[in-house]
Structure 1
Amino acid sequence: MANKIYSRNNANDKNKLTSQDIRRYNWYIWRLVIAGFAFFAIMIMLIAFQVFGTLPSFRELENPKSDQASQVISSDNQVIGNYYIKNRTSVTYKQLSPNVINALVATEDARFYEHSGIDFQRTFSILAYNLIGKKQGGSTITQQLALNLFSERARNPFKRIIQKLQEWITAVKLERNYTKEEILTLYMNTVDFGAYNTYGISAASRTYFNTTPDKLTPDQAAMLMGMINGPGIYSPINHPDNALKRRNFVLRRMAEEGYLSAGQAEEFKQKPLGLQFKITDHNDGMATYFRAVLKREVQKILVDKSILKPDGVTPYDLDRDGLKIYTTIDATMQQYAEEAQKEYMRNLQAQFNDHWKGYNLKKAIPTFKALIDKGMHRSDRYASLKQQNKSDEEIREDFNTPAKMNIFTWHGDVDTLMKPIDSIVYCKMMLRNALMSMDPTTGYIKAWVGGTNFEHFKYDQVKMGTRQVGSTAKPFTYAVAIDDGFSPCMQVANEPITITGYGADWSPRSSPSETVPGVITLRTALARSQNWVTAYVMNEVKPQPVADLIKKMGVTSPVPPYPSICLGTFDASVFDMTGAYSAFANEGVWTEPTFLLRIEDKNGNVLYNNTPKVVQAINPQTAYVMTYMLKGVVDEGTGWRLRGKYGLTNPIGGKTGTTNDNSDGWFIGITPQLVTGIWTGCEDRDVHFRSTRLGEGANTALPIFAGYMKRVYANNKLGIKKNVDFVPPKSGVSITLDCGAYSQQQKGTNEVEKKLDF
């Protein structure tokens, strides 16, 4: 028994740690700790010396690289569109609601205002925070900003550790270079909000709540800030229950940190998410056609003018560099133009459909099959099938096999099952329309509607497309005549005429139902759009001066000096024709139609200022007399519907235009403050109304002008006044406009001539 006790005591003595053992173990622990700190310090030094990759330079910290959308800004200071790779628009700190800041800090970094980029207390107490319910991530807001600005989260664990240390160093640099307010602003402008390419608080506010960051309520701010840790899992669109729970968690954190009272937090928790979700892309918003044309123009300017970033080497990227593009477009007038188009084109398309109902298109339109074949060969579907090495027979079979597709209608897009070949027929039978409205004195374009639906029909018909102008060309011939001393009251027999000497003899036609018989004045001839009198005037003034004037008034497309140009056989764009008519309303001065004012960088530095060209195209007296002539079109001619049907009684001039076979309908209206040009027709000229009653410009284009102007006049804030008339030139008008007085003058002149002859 004694031996057993001795053995046990002896074993206990052996298991006891001596002081020497304790010192030795302590030394091992301290060596491990020191080694760890040394390794950490070495790693920090290696990272600082950029052994594991470059760190942002001071210049990069001053100018962080974050893709920002460039903004298109209207003349009334509204953002009407963006160009972007990432839908991100920067805001200033003052444009952020305090609710957003409070929700972010409470949720992501409660000690944000106390640390200098790295919160060591936070780092060592993450576990404790989570145990007491104050859920906190491992990174401060500044560290998250460093990741957002300069790198993407690595998936490899070792690389992620290196990246984390890089973020620490960058975070410290950020804190040294920026104020807390600036860091919060940078963070808000760079964070990803998930759905549909939405970056930054500005885009998120607009996408989810259709508001701006300064107007976000606490519950809205809580939902958006709750998405930051998981834009996918906390998406209010795909996972509304998760989003609601996360929002309520953020509201609780705001109350715990003193940004809300407990009662306020509970009140906001009871509210639904209240989304006003709207996907934003390049097909949305107003002035879509204009923005597409503007983008090409700005990109061309940046290249042609060699506009570079401050380093003098790097070119600007319109989709990434946050440029501000100031335009002449008035957002309200643009809205009115789009509304007027939609309102009438819906009705006109119904007229067109009824007009062709029951007709065999292949028989009624001889070229129809060729048009459909051409449309098929130009389609994206055809190109895709060709890339798949499909034979022509297989491609045609595909086009005759019903498929799911989305088509445009004036009552909204429709998902349907349709043969692709039938969809081409459908598109060919859709009427197109374009409108441009400008200030004739400044040249500033106020509204631009390039087509009927940008998503489905992307071709711009204002500037990119040209169509035959028809009778809208007639005023150019009369302007040359007026400049040569002709009077609007001059009387001419309205009878057939043949013009020779310019190749083949030319004899214009005149519809019997529209021909005014007998002797008529030049003003009546223009008002009633009489071809024979117009041809007579052309024969008197000759084609070359008319062609020269047309070019001088800004028409850039070819205008050959042949007699037929007096009836508008040449092609021109809505852009050029509207600009040309502006000279009539602006004392003969053609001011280049202008839609771009200036380009600024994201910091407000001006990169480009636009200065429009100015040309004295015709003398002021001729221009004033032409306004008198063009008012006759509205008062007593083909534009009478503006008075009789639409009730516009103010001074308005204009000209309708209808081309061969009613392929194109035009109306260009002038007032002292606005000139507006409108065109309507189908994609192909062979598809058109079969009757002039329906296809003339007075029916296809003029009503849109009326709808637009009535809206404009109803809004006094726009400053477009109804009671303003065209002002005579300061030098006076020597041409007699009173046809009664003119007749007396002519009678007196004839009597004097008789006496002299006697």
Structure 2
Amino acid sequence: MADQGALKANRKWLKIATRVVWVGFVLGIVGFPLYIWSVSVNLNNWFGELPSYSQLENPEQNLTSMLYTADGVPLGSGYFRDNRNPVTYDELGPNLVNALLAAEDIRFQSHSGIDLESMFRVAFGVLTFSPRGGGSTISQQLAKNLFRTRVINDDEKGKLEGKIGVLDQLIYKTKEWILSVRLERSYTKEEIMAMYYNTVEFGNNAFGIKSAAKTYFGKLPSELSVPEAAVLAGMQKGVTTFRPDINPESSKWRRNVVMSQMVKYDFLAQDAFDTLRVQDIDLSEFKQQDHNQGLAQYFREEARKELRVLASNLGYDLYGDGLKIYTTIDSRMQGYAEEAVDSAMTRVQHLFDSLLLKEGRDLWIDSKGRELDDFFDDFVVPRSTAYRNLVNKYGEDSDSVNYYLNKKKKLTVFSWQGEIDTLMSSLDSMRYYKQFLQTGFMATNPQTGAIKAWVGGINFKHFKFDHVQHGKRQPGSLFKPFVYATAVEQGYSPCYTFKDEAVTINVPGQDEPWSPQNAESRFSGEEMTMKLAMARSVNSITARVMDIVKPEKVSSMAKRVGIKSTIPPYYSIALGTEDVSLHEVIGAYGTFANKGTHIEPYYIDRIEDKFGNEIYRHVPRKSRAISEDVAYIMLNMLQETAKSGSGRGLAWTYGLVDLAQKQNEIGAKTGTTQNASDGWFVAVTKDLVAGAWVGGDDRAIHFTRWPDGQGARTAMPIVGIFMQKVYADESLGIEKSFFDRPAQLNMEIDCARFEQVLAPKDTTDNIIFEDDIY
């Protein structure tokens, strides 16, 4: 009986087991596909939405928008949220392909998105508590990277997500299975591998293999060696853990694991592996890609501000749509400009520092060289970011503000001999950085308005302010050509003569007359032409010309030729008292070189979308400002500065003008403010207009003596060195040349043949000469 009972019990359990097997079989055959289908259609919103087929074929990625020079050189690392520059499969090279296959998915070419063998291996490892690696294919990892299946916003969650941890993982994995199969149906294997390498992160702000290869090894992906490719492929097991710059030993270990897998699958010979495995990772070319690296850093930042708005107006995202932006900058000329700034400013700064030390004075002085004792505390500190942040945090009267301003901390600071690691307080840092003189430099093609070089300061990493477009300062004598151009336009020959003597002008509506002084506060008494007076920047004669032509006409002239800043019709503007930017000055001088037609300087030539379709092309903004005759006469007058005036260093020091052989025509003008806080210089040729400004961050930072800070000494060397390099580079196609003389020029300009030419009319009634006062 007992045996019969046991037999009945065994039969009962056999039936139960059979039913369980059948139920499991039915569930496996019917239920699992039904589950997969439910996830794919998000049944009852239990699982969350999957990307549509349209999204699958056009996955959204943040692609880097790249700037290119006119000669095809990439400028910096571009504009990005994720520093990502996509590559095609052909651009990967075999080493990267083989390293990824060996490390992640050796059956990639044979499966359809899901590797069943790997899945069973993983499942068996879990059941036996002996994990044997991951089972995700390259396609599954791509699905996870592209569509962020495991990073879901609350409004994107299904009803079951976020409830049960194990269930969440199953849902996420299921989504990746479905998407990987769909990816395999939508793309070729080569496209999937390229997309994978384009989507993964490598640390150091490098997204995608092209950025990673550039960042860590300074190479294109196809140029990577086997060990280098193994380093980058191996990082995907843990980017931070295996980053070669911060964890070199871990990265080396992981690299060797990948290379051993390459040996296993016959991608690498054993003897080659034995040699390579002992080598350290070479990071001699490592350079984090950021906006402090590469050419034209100031220019790139200024271009970014305009491009962000321009791209938005065109319906694009500058930081994510992978635009190709072609600029007018020439990489060779930009390089020469930066070299010229470094060379010239090193010497100018040395002179300034040595005089500061010799004079034993504070940094801030007034126009007479007297120290401004409270300037730092009253003006510099309150305007600083450090002070404002502390006040916002602790309150203006809190002792904490003063405590933290004086607290020493580790800093890396700029010097002309290289960066210095030091201890400084915020106040120390303010004083230290204020001692550096700054500069701005720009060069354009006057015939097209295309900007060819742009340097906004001495070092973008440490001094972000751009002095080309935003650093408006008084131009001094640089403004005088607009006064003389007005006179020429009114019919006054450049050969008309004046006497250099003290002058006092009664200004309507003012109690005090205007009595401008010459640069060195003395008058020669010499009779000289307008041409010579402009070349020598004689204030007394410029003032007399201003009184003849009237301030309203000069203000109008400045605006017509390209000065955008407000220039009120005051007599004093003749001497450059109103602030202007270098950018607008170069554009205005370009009007003379472009035969009287003003072209607004520009730097964006055209823009293409990520597919290469042109979405924008610049249309030059032109306007007839002055006649061709007036423009040529002004060029002729500006040449006198390079021959006998303050710009003669272009010939004697830099050899740009051969006065004897007349091999080149260059017009030039210097500008220096009264207290020598601003030094300017502009040179004009037929094919190039180049100019520079030099001065302190504050107007109270300047040389004590006017001659030391004059534009011919501070700014001209930048322009001279730049043009020397440009002329020496035959690949640029810029040669020494002559201005085009109008065929029917109706005014005498050869002033050497005349002692004096009568003025068309005399309007000097309100000028009081010094001799007449007594």
Normalising by structure 1, report the TM-score.
Answer: 0.90
Q: How far apart are the structure 2 equivalents of 1:152 and 1:701? A: 58
Q: Structure 1 residues 517, 96: closer, same or farther in 2, change over 3 A? A: farther
Kept in 1: contact 2:445–2:452 (CA 8 A): yes
Aligned counterpart for 2:679 among listed residues 661, 665, 676: 665
Q: How far apart are the structure 2 equivalents of 1:448 and 1:12? A: 101
| Structure 1 residue 259 displacement after superposition | 3.1
| Structure 1 residue 527 displacement after superposition | 1.3
Kept in 2: contact 1:516–1:530 (CA 8 A): no
Aligned match of 1:44 = 36
Q: How far apart are the structure 2 equivalents of 1:41 and 1:393? A: 70
Segment of structure 1 superposing worse, 78-87 or 565-574: 78-87
Aligned counterpart for 2:27 among listed residues 35, 38, 63: 35
Aligned match of 1:359 = 361
Q: Which amino acid aligns with 2:748?
A: T
Pair 1:638 & 2:637 matched: no
Q: Which amino acid aligns with 1:460?
A: D
Aligned match of 1:300 = 309
| Structure 1 residue 479 displacement after superposition | 1.4
Aligned match of 1:573 = 581
Pair 1:451 & 2:457 matched: yes
Q: How far apart are the structure 1 equivalents of 2:408 and 2:584? A: 42
Aligned match of 2:737 = 724
| Structure 1 residue 164 displacement after superposition | 0.8
Aligned counterpart for 1:376 among listed residues 374, 381, 393: 381
Segment of structure 1 superposing worse, 185-194 or 151-160: 151-160
| Structure 1 residue 15 displacement after superposition | 8.3
Aligned match of 1:110 = 106
Aligned counterpart for 2:143 among listed residues 146, 156, 179: 146
Aligned counterpart for 2:722 among listed residues 694, 704, 708: 708
Aligned counterpart for 2:286 among listed residues 277, 286, 289: 277
Q: How far apart are the structure 1 equivalents of 2:521 and 2:578? A: 25
Kept in 2: contact 1:96–1:214 (CA 8 A): yes
| Structure 1 residue 129 displacement after superposition | 11
| Structure 1 residue 659 displacement after superposition | 0.6
Q: How far apart are the structure 1 equivalents of 2:756 and 2:562? A: 39
Aligned match of 1:70 = 65
Segment of structure 1 superposing worse, 636-645 or 366-375: 366-375
Q: Structure 1 residues 700, 152: closer, same or farther in 2, change over 3 A? A: farther
Q: Deviations over 1:689-735 (max 9, x none)?
A: 111221000111101111211222222112221x2121223x33232
Q: Which amino acid aligns with 2:355?
A: H
User: What is the aligned residue count?
Assistant: 725
Q: Which amino acid aligns with 2:693?
A: W
Kept in 1: contact 2:411–2:424 (CA 8 A): yes
Kept in 1: contact 2:702–2:709 (CA 8 A): yes
Q: How far apart are the structure 1 equivalents of 2:239 and 2:451? A: 41
| Structure 1 residue 466 displacement after superposition | 0.9
Q: Structure 1 residues 523, 143: closer, same or farther in 2, change over 3 A? A: same
Q: Which amino acid aligns with 1:148?
A: N
Pair 1:137 & 2:104 matched: no
Aligned match of 1:695 = 709
Q: Structure 1 residues 661, 179: closer, same or farther in 2, change over 3 A? A: same
Kept in 2: contact 1:502–1:562 (CA 8 A): no
| Structure 1 residue 365 displacement after superposition | 4.8
Q: Secondary structure at the match of 2:517?
A: coil
Structure 1 segments unaligned to the other structure (5+ residues):
1-6, 309-315, 747-758
Aligned match of 2:201 = 192
Aligned match of 1:4 = none
Aligned match of 1:172 = 181
Matches within 5 A, 1:200-219: 200-219=208-227
Aligned match of 2:52 = 57
Q: Structure 1 residues 281, 152: closer, same or farther in 2, change over 3 A? A: farther
Pair 1:245 & 2:258 matched: no
Q: Deviations over 1:210-238 (max 9, x none)?
A: 11223222221121111111112211112
Matches within 5 A, 1:217-616: 217-275=225-283, 276-303=285-312, 305=313, 307-308=314-315, 316-357=316-357, 358-361=360-363, 365-390=370-395, 391-504=397-510, 505-512=513-520, 515-616=523-624
Q: Deviations over 1:604-630 (max 9, x none)?
A: 233332212011211112212222211
Q: Structure 1 residues 272, 537: closer, same or farther in 2, change over 3 A? A: same
Q: Which amino acid aligns with 1:114?
A: S
Q: Which amino acid aligns with 1:31?
A: V
| Structure 1 residue 581 displacement after superposition | 0.5
Q: How far apart are the structure 2 equivalents of 1:433 and 1:89? A: 34
Segment of structure 1 superposing worse, 329-338 or 270-279: 270-279
Q: How far apart are the structure 1 equivalents of 2:211 and 2:264? A: 29
| Structure 1 residue 265 displacement after superposition | 3.9
Q: Which amino acid aligns with 1:158?
A: L
Aligned counterpart for 2:746 among listed residues 721, 734, 740: 734
Q: Deviations over 1:279-301 (max 9, x none)?
A: 12222222222122111111222
Segment of structure 1 superposing worse, 621-630 or 642-651: 642-651
| Structure 1 residue 742 displacement after superposition | 4.5
Q: How far apart are the structure 2 equivalents of 1:174 and 1:37? A: 24
Q: Secondary structure at the match of 1:607?
A: strand
Aligned match of 2:81 = 85
Q: How far apart are the structure 2 equivalents of 1:693 and 1:392? A: 45
Q: Secondary structure at the match of 1:482?
A: helix
Kept in 2: contact 1:361–1:368 (CA 8 A): no
Kept in 2: contact 1:372–1:425 (CA 8 A): no
Identical amino acids, percent of aligned pairs: 41
Aligned counterpart for 1:623 among listed residues 628, 631, 635: 631
| Structure 1 residue 248 displacement after superposition | 2.3
Q: Secondary structure at the match of 2:216?
A: helix
Q: How far apart are the structure 1 equivalents of 2:622 and 2:132? A: 66
Q: Which amino acid aligns with 1:99?
A: N
Q: Which amino acid aligns with 1:591?
A: I
Normalising by structure 2, report the TM-score.
Answer: 0.88
Q: Deviations over 1:335-387 (max 9, x none)?
A: 21112111221221121111111214578655452344332222232233223
| Structure 1 residue 333 displacement after superposition | 1.4
Kept in 1: contact 2:565–2:579 (CA 8 A): yes
Kept in 1: contact 2:69–2:331 (CA 8 A): yes
Q: Secondary structure at the match of 1:247?
A: helix
